[in-house]
Amino acid sequence: MSGCSNTETVARVAAMMREKDTRLVTIVAADDGEGTAELIYIMDRRGELIKLRVRCRWDEELESLSPEYKGAENMEREMMDLLGLSFQGVQGGLFLGPGGQPPLRTQGE
């Protein structure tokens, strides 16, 4: 998947997967060095790992998966602090104090 507009799709897919006893394992995020971030949502369904990949611009707000997966909130807060991403309805401040610069984001973005 590409583009943050597809994060709504990720949230819908996550909701459907939740109904089928699929659990969220982790969310991996990285600065791709090209002005966008890449997120990989890794889920487990009966021992099979499922990966959903999304790329987004830094100024876009992502839909949070925490309504479906409560454990997603801390993962999203970590990405907010370390990379400067934004998730709907989620507050940062897990690691980074107010006004701090996200340490894992390429400078000048």
CATH code of domain 4-87: 3.30.460.80
- Cα separation of 1 and 55, whole Å? 7
pTM: 0.81
Reply yes or no on whether the pLDDT at 10 is more than 90. no
CA-nearest of 105, 3, 106, 15 to 54 is 3
For 25-76, how does the pLDDT look when each residue is reduced to its tens digit (9 = 90+)? 999 999 988 888 999 999 898 899 989 888 888 888 898 888 888 899 999 9
